[in-house]
Amino acid sequence: MNVPVCAEDQAPIKKKSDGIFTNAVVKVFVTKNEMDYYRPWQSKGIAASSGSGAIITGNRILTNAHVVSDHTFIQVKKDADPRKYSAQVVAIGHDCDLALLSVDDPDFFKGTTALEFGVLPSQQDSVTVIGYPEGGEVISITEGVVSRIEVTAYTQSSRELLTVQIDAAINAGNSGGPVIQNGKLVGVAMQVFLAAQNIGYMIPTPIIGHFLKDLDDGTYNGFPTLGIAFKNTENATMRKYYGIDKIEGGVLISKVLPYSPASGYLQEGDILLNIDNVLIGEDGTFPFRGEERLSLTHLITDKQINDTIDLTIIRDGKDRNVQVRINPFVTLVPHPNHFEKPPYYIFGGLVFTVLSTDLIYSWGDMWWEKAPLDLAYYAIGTGSLNEQKRKEVVVLLDVLPDDINVGYHEVGKDVVTKVNGRDIKSFRDLVTVINEVKTSEEYTILETEHASRIILNNKGIEEVNSEILKRNNIPYQYSDDVAGWINGAR
């Protein structure tokens, strides 16, 4: 694995206990201005938070993406040093919840040690979590034990990647701090299991190494995907039906997402037997480090973008070998961005935006229960550009009450399908069509998936728009990107 190592000529290592390097651990202070995706013309306001980070080779600081998301200003501080130094984000990967920071002031790195990277620990190995949990200013050192190694969803992105569970407290502020074994960094503290005490998760070195290698060309591309859903084939009758009862392993491909890397190569009903000559068990796992097993997903995400994987499948009773180039998968509902302002457009008091996971997450930790069912379905159910070839899901988010929209005040959180009979497949479609028909036709007629038709009178609509904005203290009718579309069309 191509990961940085500690240079021999660095500063002497400072230890508080055997193998614990406190001069390689920093506290990260972040000022944030989080976007309000439900009121996209405003932010949620300035807030302060903190996390931890580890110094690695190249005078870089490794931390979590969620620690620095939505930042407007970042400072870092070393142990036993009262001074704070300004820092900048060099790279960020929301999918793997990792970020790299730099500090321009060379004095910051005097007396520090860059941590070497270790290997993926094993179950029951002892590890040490170092960081700055909230509630104090002094560095915290906590012992823990590796309890589980598996592929699971990262809170920051919902991407399923390799994760290590440790029996150690990871509290607010610990995030981004190093997890140490035998004096080497083997993980980055990431998240806590809320349903149990003293259960935390770390990002292991295979994921960190993938992130850093991806950055070799100066651009972060992310983790690839194949774009399939699969079902286990543990049922004996099922295996006999698909003609695999006499062989070992294999899973059923239950869906091939449109426009995914697998589209055109794999089909629903194929049996996936091998990935790069590694046998896939009927439970969807593969052998890993002897007696361990991991989800087949790891064989895919362990690759870099544009790598090729060799697949062995059974189709119509015959073995086939297929090569697929894996790429980033463009999803219908974008993954969390955390930096770009959400687009919006207000017309006749109707507030429009684009469905994103950021918007879905605004319903809170239990968003899958609290968010409107149809919007949640688009976010997790389709997963891809759907058969209607939508580029985006355009949402009528809310209605700002006015005489022009009486009778529609309870409408909202619905997907826009047509405007004056024209299909709406992107947010730009919506803006373009409305700006055409508001002057050329008597009515603007919107169709949504559930509200049927919304009919607005175009007479005096610009004055109505201005009054609604003024009444609701909204500075602009649309976001900056929409302004460019409208001005460009004039």
DSSP symbol at 342: P
Annotated catalytic residue, options 70, 79, 95, 97:
97
Annotated catalytic residue, options 49, 50, 52, 66:
66
What φ, ψ does residue 439 adopt, rounded to 5°?
-110, -20
Annotated catalytic residue, options 49, 50, 52, 175:
175
Q: What are the DSSP calls for 300-312, one per residue?
A: HHTSPTT-EEEEE
| H or E element that contains 63 | strand 60-63
CA-wise closest residue to 358 among 339, 373, 344: 339
Whether 217 sits among the annotated catalytic residues: the reply is no
Whether 175 sits among the annotated catalytic residues: the reply is yes
- 269: CB partners within 8 A, 6+ apart: 252, 253, 315
For the chain, first and last CA: distance in Å?
A: 54
What φ, ψ does residue 87 adopt, rounded to 5°?
-135, 160
Which amino acid does the sequence have at 1?
M
DSSP-derived pairing of the beta strands 414-419 and 443-448: antiparallel
CB 190 within 8 A of CB 205: no
3-state DSSP call for residue 374?
Answer: helix
CA-wise closest residue to 250 among 314, 316, 324, 297: 314
Please state, in angstroms and as integers, the Cα–Cα distance from residue 134 to each residue in 55, 87, 320, following that order.
20, 20, 55
| H or E element that contains 255 | strand 251-256
DSSP symbol at 114: P
Question: Checking phi first, is residue 146 left (phi over 0); if not, alpha (psi -120 to 50) or beta?
Answer: beta
Round to whole Å and give the CA distance between 260 and 271.
18
Which amino acid does the sequence have at 95?
D
- 318: CB partners within 8 A, 6+ apart: none
CB 208 within 8 A of CB 98: yes
Active site residues: 66, 97, 175
